[in-house]
């Protein structure tokens, strides 16, 4: 596997923490190959949800180099914790139109079961989404695991590892939110910026430089969308955060020193941004995929931020290497909970 320097560092870090990660998509070929790499390199302990015979069959069918005795398999329909989980889900959601029978049915779903394992500390984190949509992957976590204290909105980011070393942190960036909040309010944009800066420090141990992106730089255009960003910046200023941020900035002003000197000469961020906050999910989702496809960048994510315990999504177009990277990030998030 052709890992970048950043990915290798993440794997090395994850390996020190010895975490337990649950994967509900246990018969997907890419997932099983990722489990093979993780297990054979002793990165973390893996729990697969499903029937042992189905998983063994797929391991053989796909010729995956995986010793079944090195992983734990939990059959969510026969597990001895199933009853306890049903009771807990019912208690947690009974005021949200979830009766006992519904709780029982929901836990027949592997994704709900895995989210409950994380909530109950039977796993340290969860990774899913190679088969399921983002909504189906994250809804159980939003309902069961819930947000960290002091965080109102869970958001998501991509760790983008590009070959353009002259930009960002030697070519590495956080892009947010590219996967979760369709049309963030100013308050949510502020939360996305704070969570992204924390994620950047956690994963890269470098100084975050946050740019709020727009089609306008410093009032070069006017409109409601720009007012939303200006307001987010005002809210962030009131929080006294320990990282630099600026906006609204066009992408070229955020990245290029020459353009920054022309369009935003007084900015501490313009020309050096390493965290790009997109104004909405359309821009973020399209933006990360453009960079990934056109510049052959590695895009790890969408990684969620703001949940009490880590539950991470994958793109359905992900490759085995992406799954390995997201598992490593999940271990690091779990250690720093
Ligand atoms: N932060 C915190 N809590 C949240 C958030 C959030 N951002 N969003 C929803 N919730 C909570 C709600 O308050 C609710 O809690 P409650 O049931 O205890 O009251 C619970 O989660 C469920 O919320 P709903 O709004 O009913 O859930 P819904 O499923 O409709 O929405 C979702 C959540 C799935 C994340 C939605 O925002 C969504 O679909 N986002 C877009 C996902 C997507 O398609 N991304 C693009 C693809 S990603 C890619 O390309 C890799």
Query: What pLDDT digit, counting tens, does each position of 158-180 carry?
Result: 999 999 999 999 999 999 999 99
Is the predicted pLDDT of residue 150 greater than 80, yes or no?
no
- pLDDT level of residue 210 (50, 70, 90 thresholds): very high
| Domains 5-146+310-335 and 155-294 in one fold | yes
Is the predicted pLDDT of residue 200 greater than 80, yes or no?
yes
Is the predicted pLDDT of residue 2 greater than 90, yes or no?
no
- Mean of pLDDT over the chain: 95
Please give the average per-residue pLDDT across 19-47, as a whole number.
Answer: 98
Please indicate whether residue 154, judged by its CB atom, sits closer than 6 Å to ligand 1.
yes
Quote the crossing angle between the two packed helices 52-61 and 29-40, to the nearest 10°. 90
What's residue 5's pLDDT?
A: 87
Please indicate whether residue 180, judged by its CB atom, sits closer than 6 Å to ligand 1.
yes
Fold topology of 5-146+310-335 = Rossmann fold (3.40.50)
What's residue 315's pLDDT?
A: 86
What's residue 337's pLDDT?
A: 80
Give yes or no for a contact between 253 and 270, defined as CB atoms under 8 angstroms apart: yes
Instruction: Give me the residue spans of the domains in the chain.
Output: 5-146+310-335, 155-294
What's residue 33's pLDDT?
A: 98
In order of 248, 255, 272, 290, 297, the CA distances from 220 in angstroms are: 9, 17, 20, 25, 31
Three-class DSSP category at 184: coil
Q: pTM higher than 0.85, yes or no?
A: yes
User: What is the number of the ligand 1 atom nearest to the C-alpha of 314?
Assistant: 51
Higher pLDDT, 21 or 4: 21
Q: How far is the CA of 293 from the centre of ligand 1 (A)?
A: 26
Query: What pLDDT digit, counting tens, does each position of 73-101 carry?
Result: 999 999 999 999 999 999 999 999 999 99
- Architecture of the domain delimited by 155-294: 3-Layer(aba) Sandwich (3.40)
């Amino acid at each position: 596997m052709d890992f970048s320097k950043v990915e290798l560092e993440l794997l090395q870090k994850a390996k020190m923490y010895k975490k337990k990660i649950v994967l509900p998509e246990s018969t997907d070929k890419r997932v099983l190959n990722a489990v093979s790499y993780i297990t054979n390199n002793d990165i973390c302990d893996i729990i697969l949800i499903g029937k042992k015979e189905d998983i063994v069959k797929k391991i053989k069918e796909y010729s995956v180099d995986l010793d079944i005795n090195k992983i734990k398999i939990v059959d969510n329909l026969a597990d001895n914790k199933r009853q306890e989980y049903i009771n807990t889900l019912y208690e947690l959601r009974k005021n949200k139109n979830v009766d006992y029978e519904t709780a029982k049915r929901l836990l027949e779903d592997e994704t709900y079961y895995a989210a409950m394992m994380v909530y109950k500390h039977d796993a340290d984190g969860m990774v899913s989404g190679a088969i399921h949509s983002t909504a189906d992957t994250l809804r159980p976590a939003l309902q069961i695991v819930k947000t960290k204290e002091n965080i109102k909105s869970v958001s998501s980011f991509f760790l983008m590892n590009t070959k353009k070393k002259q930009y960002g942190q030697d070519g590495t960036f956080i892009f947010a939110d590219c996967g979760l909040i369709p049309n963030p309010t100013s308050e949510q944009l502020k939360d996305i910026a704070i969570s992204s800066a924390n994620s950047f420090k956690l994963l890269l141990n470098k100084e975050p430089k946050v740019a709020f992106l727009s089609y306008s730089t410093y009032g070069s255009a006017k409109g409601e969308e720009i007012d939303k960003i200006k307001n987010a910046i005002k809210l962030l200023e009131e929080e006294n955060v320990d990282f630099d941020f600026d906006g609204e900035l066009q992408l070229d002003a955020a990245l290029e020193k020459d353009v920054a000197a022309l369009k935003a000469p007084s900015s501490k961020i313009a020309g050096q941004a390493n965290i790009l906050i997109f104004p909405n999910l359309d821009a973020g989702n399209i933006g990360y995929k453009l960079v990934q496809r056109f510049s052959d960048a590695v895009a790890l994510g969408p990684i969620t931020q703001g949940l009490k315990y880590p539950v991470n999504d994958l793109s359905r177009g992900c490759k085995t290497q992406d799954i390995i990277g997201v598992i490593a990030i999940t271990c690091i998030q779990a250690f720093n909970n």
